[in-house]
Amino acid sequence: MYHDDTITALATPVGVGALHIIRVSGKDAIEQVAKIFKPSKKLLKTAGNSVIYGKIVSQGKLLDEVVCTVFRAPHSFTGEDSVEISCHGSMFVADSILSALQENIRLANPGEFTLRAYLNGKMDLTQAEAVNDVIQSKTKMSQSLALNQLEGSLYARISKLIAILTQARVQVELEIDFLDDDVPEIDLTKLRSDIEDLKAELEGLVVSGQQGRIIREGLKVSLIGKPNVGKSSIFNKLLETERAIVTPIPGTTRDFLEEELSLDGYLVRFYDTAGIRATADTVEKMGISRSLEVIQNSDYILYVTDGSDSQEEYADFVSGIEADKLIKVINKTDLLSQEEVTKYSDYIPSSAMTEAGIEQLKHELLKKIKLSDNELSSGLLTNSRQVNAVKKCIESLEQAIGSIDNFMGYEFTAFDLKEASAYLEEVVGQITDDDLLNNIFSNFCIGK
């Protein structure tokens, strides 16, 4: 998996800016840049962590005046010799320098710089994933979470659990190895309760992983209800009090509109699933099944009515939706009498017109995601890879408990504990599987 050949990529976004940065990393990174840099001898002698000014010249042609930052192994992001060329911010200039470099070295794959940093032990896997999350973060909270993870909060938490698990395993293995000797017998009741404690903590991690995922990916909220009840108006009112996040969302044939906004620093994604109601039209039916999928994947469903829905219409809309996911809103209260509004006792009364109820709605949405600073920095699981590994660890711990309860012998318990350890190690990255690593790093952008 690990290659130390020299790679290069543009590290800044494609487009025009004040500067572009071209990254070069690998065992002969400095020599490769020196081939097109003047004064080249000076570059070759430049100490690590220092900056040198010069010209990029290829085939006798001046391409740009640049500043190179030189890093020498192991003191660089990747752990290899690296050079960052800061050139003028035109794509033409950056491309011409990249082409000149590519006469001798290859273009990096997405995430390859971070992959090398991970393989060189510069960071664990949760930190490597955090690098990407910091880049992709859209709100204050997703940025804080990613930065905490980058600083190693999750790594520290998982490492502590691995240490506890190892201690328990070693105890059991000692018992196997010195069965006939005078080693004092293990206190099985204590061992069992230690494993139970560990399991409980991991279960807590899985639950908070749900919050970590929501902070990272956004709280998914589907808006449902008849046309004209005021769904878009409510969304727009929330937008007015908060910040819209404008991102082009790929895919043109969508049967729902997706909008993002930052609510108190938390990312919320709204899906307007128009046309969700039963219809005979096949094309529309296809659209509906996709809308249903969106609804199923939502954290909250916002059912909006203006009081004109019949019982049947209401039942149609909410059938199959879990009760704890449903938030009901009675909108256009400005047009309703107080008496009519009180009939909707389990609804949030709102008026997109007068803005009444908008704050309460915001509060309801945030209930599910708000975390204290403490929780945020305690090291949360933030993606399904991590959550799945922890779930498997819990299963192995359950088997270990079973082996104790059923007097299966220390060998079985040791085996289960070892397996549990392996799953936890997978979270922080004792991963050697090439496919899995490629999968993780291929989500990165090129140049990272």
Residues of the shown chain interacting with ligand GDP in the complex, contacts defined by CB under 6 A: 225, 227-233, 331-332, 334-335, 351-353
Nearer to ligand GDP, 356 or 431 (CB): 356
Asked, as a colleague might, if the bond just before 227 is cis with ω within 30 of 0, I would say no
Burial 417-435 (b: 16+ CB within 10 A, else e): bbbbbebbbbbbbebeeee
Q: Are 209 and 256 within 8 A, CB to CB?
A: no
Round to whole Å and give the CA distance between 268 and 264. 10
The least CB distance from residue 361 to ligand GDP, in Å, is 12
Nearer to ligand GDP, 187 or 334 (CB): 334
Please give the structure tokens belonging to residue 378: 């305690």
Amino acid at 147: L
Nearer to ligand GDP, 208 or 232 (CB): 232
The helix or strand, by DSSP H or E, that contains position 8, with its residue range, turns out to be strand 7-10
Q: What does the DSSP assignment read for 320-370?
A: T--GGGEEEEE--GGGS-HHHHHT-TTSEE--TTT-TTHHHHHHHHHHTT-
The least CB distance from residue 341 to ligand GDP, in Å, is 12
The least CB distance from residue 326 to ligand GDP, in Å, is 17
Nearer to ligand GDP, 200 or 335 (CB): 335
Nearer to ligand GDP, 161 or 229 (CB): 229
The least CB distance from residue 224 to ligand GDP, in Å, is 10
Please give the structure tokens belonging to residue 173: 């293995």
Q: Are 336 and 353 within 8 A, CB to CB?
A: no
Burial 354-370 (b: 16+ CB within 10 A, else e): eeebbeebbeebeebbe
The least CB distance from residue 242 to ligand GDP, in Å, is 17
The least CB distance from residue 235 to ligand GDP, in Å, is 8
Nearer to ligand GDP, 6 or 273 (CB): 273
Round to whole Å and give the CA distance between 396 and 426. 14
Residue 77, CA distances (Å) to 21, 29, 81, 140 in order: 15, 13, 9, 25
The least CB distance from residue 348 to ligand GDP, in Å, is 12
The DSSP bridge partners found for residue 49 are none
Nearer to ligand GDP, 222 or 351 (CB): 351
Nearer to ligand GDP, 17 or 307 (CB): 307
The least CB distance from residue 237 to ligand GDP, in Å, is 9
Which residue sits closest to ligand GDP, CB atoms considered? 230
